[in-house]
Structure 1
Amino acid sequence: MRLLNKIWGWMLVIGIGVGLVTGKAAEVSTALVDSAKNGVDYAIGMAGVVAMWSGIMHLAEAEGILDVLTRKMKGLIHFLFPDIPHGHPAEKYISLNFAANILGLGWAATPAGLSAMEALNDLEEERRSTHHPLAGIRGRASQEMCTFLVINVSSLQLIPMTIIAYRSQFGAAVPAEIVLPGILATAFSTAAGILFVKIMGRRP
């Protein structure tokens, strides 16, 4: 996080410096104000959408939809996370996160992903309290948490609904033409992510 803060900080300083040196101080000032405004608008919009999908996720859990989804994806979840106990709450949230990502619903995947990470953290705390042989070092992410993060970031998408919506909003002639390139790109990235975590998981 510190490295990321430094990178963004230097990018901001260099950008402002280049703007001043090239005589575009007015444009830089306008861009800063507009960016701040857009950032607030984006945060407010994101908060509302995340709240909506969080509510939908809890409704799906209460109605048993998550249980059905978990059973359908049981083989995949067990292959990717062989050490998660059967029936653990993390399975439900991971299944919902994967399903949302496949459909390109990034907003829906976020609440499920956060809940999955919390459940995986609880599992790791249980292991440490019982001195389980799979328990890792305190303060470090578990194998399951790293695996979930890598696969979630790679994000296999069959129908990138969010990107299609953005393209439509900004006037793209054919908003859905991104579907095939999106499938190919995310399929390769997901395969690479799974291969990576499986190889790294064999290391001590």
Structure 2
Amino acid sequence: MNVLWLIMICVSIVFAIFTGNLEAFTKSIFEGAKSAVEISLYLLGIVSVWLGITRILEDSGLIYRIAHLFRPIISRLFKNIPGDHPSITAITLNVLANLFGLGNAATPLGIKAMQELDALNQDKGTITPEMMTFIVINTASIQLIPFSVIGILASYEHHNPAVVVLPVLIATAISAMTALLILALFRRIFR
């Protein structure tokens, strides 16, 4: 991937030199870097708020109640996980972070869920069906409210940043269902 980026940058520099746009090219590089830092700091705030909320939920014990509400769905998707195992809570937190479109905040929660699922793994070094299901759900996450996308649109002063909610909900629901169906199909074929 680094080679691809290097080639793209070199081609851009050569093209800018030959077209006489080197000054505009240089200016756009610095403006793009500035914009990237501003957006990163803005998203860092969103992620920090969500991680703080999850910590409060965890410390107050409310997350266990939320996990209990999601237990029938999680138990149906993850049939081989005992009902009181900590992986249920970790999976629930990850799913909730993804539901609210906080993919960056979901990453540490996803890592925790995989560690908890690995604790149940009898054959270390191999992936279990539960791990596969979690990876598929995490990757093709259903987003109820895509806060990150709304935040980016709002930072660019879009007149209606919430316009993406319904299309994102439909697209992510379809992608998650399709991914789960494909996983089930592959499990049957390669059983």
Give 1:115-194 correspondences, 5 Å limit.
Answer: 115-121=112-118, 123=119, 127=121, 132=122, 135=123, 138=125, 141-194=127-180
CA distance in 2, matches of 1:18, 1:171: 32
Equivalent residue, structure 1, for 2:13: 16
Equivalence map 1:1-204=2 (5 Å): 4-47=1-44, 49-121=46-118, 123=119, 127=121, 132=122, 135=123, 138=125, 141-202=127-188, 203-204=190-191
CA gap 1:87/1:19 in 2 versus in 1, 3 angstroms: farther
How far 1:40 moved relative to its partner?
Answer: 4.2
Identity %: 33
Q: For structure 1, list consecutive stretches of 5 or more residues without a partner in the other structure.
A: none
CA distance in structure 2 between the aligned counterparts of 1:197 and 1:152, rounded to whole angstroms: 13
- Does the 8 Å contact 2:39/2:152 carry over to 1? no
Q: Secondary structure at the match of 2:57?
A: helix
- More displaced stretch, 66-75 vs 4-13: 4-13
For each residue in 1:52-85, what CA deviation from the matched residue of structure 2 results, as whole angstroms up to 9, or x when unmatched?
4333323212211121111111122123222233
| 1:53–1:107 CA contact under 8 A, matched in 2 | no
> Which residues of structure 2 form unaligned runs of 5+?
none
Give the TM-score normalised by structure 1: 0.75
Greater than 6 Å deviation, 4+ residue runs: none
- The 8 Å contact of residues 114 and 131 in structure 2, kept in 1 or not, is answered as yes
Change (3 A) 1:183 1:51: closer
> Aligned equivalents of 2:82 and 2:74: distance in 1?
11
Note closer, same or farther for the CA distance 1:147–1:10 as it changes in structure 2 (3 Å cut): farther
TM-score for the superposition, normalised by structure 2: 0.79
SS in 2 for 1:171: coil
1:35 deviation in Å?
3.5
Distance in 2, Cα, partners of 1:15 & 1:120: 46
Q: Distance in 2 between matches of 1:33 and 1:155?
A: 34
Matches of 1:48 and 1:157, distance apart in 2 = 19
Contact 2:98–2:106 (Cα < 8 Å) also in 1: yes
**Compared CA separation, residues 18 and 170, structure 1 to 2 (3 A):** same
More moved, 40-49 vs 154-163: 40-49
Query: What is the letter of the counterpart of residue 25 of structure 1?
Result: L
Say what the alpha-carbon RMSD is for the aligned residues.
2.7
Conserved 8 A contact 1:50-1:110: no
* Other structure's SS at 1:73 match: helix
